Amino acid sequence: MKILAGFAVLLFASTCAYAQGPKPCEDLKAEIAKKLDAKGVKSYTLEIVAKDKEAEGKQVGTCDGGKNKIMYLRTTPAAAATTPAPTKP
């Protein structure tokens, strides 16, 4: 009986995952950006590129049924943020 129950759970879980279908790239990109912002990541870019294209950065997701990938690349902070404020003599 335990085996049957375990099989039913696995079957149900795989059916739910399949029902979601491919996720649109813009939705996934927004979700990833939200998670990065929540962790306090400041200087980054997320770029959607074709699966077979070479791109700079680290792949953090796939979308549109595996046709595209989302690449994460850290960027340097703005020049104003890196330049120290002038001190008064």
pLDDT tens digits along 62-86 = 999 999 999 999 998 764 455 555 5
Decide if 16 is inside a domain: no
Decide if 8 is inside a domain: no
Residue 73: is it exposed, middle or buried by C-beta count within 10 angstroms (0-12/13-18/19+)? middle
The overall pTM is greater than 0.75: no
Decide if 87 is inside a domain: no
pLDDT of residue 76: 86
Q: How many domains does the chain have?
A: 1
Instruction: Give tens-digit pLDDT for 1-55.
Output: 666 555 555 555 555 455 567 889 999 999 999 999 999 999 999 999 999 999 9
Chain position carrying tokens 């294209």 = 53
Quote the tokens at residue 47: 């770029």
pLDDT of residue 18: 53
Decide if 37 is inside a domain: yes
Decide if 7 is inside a domain: no
pLDDT of residue 89: 57
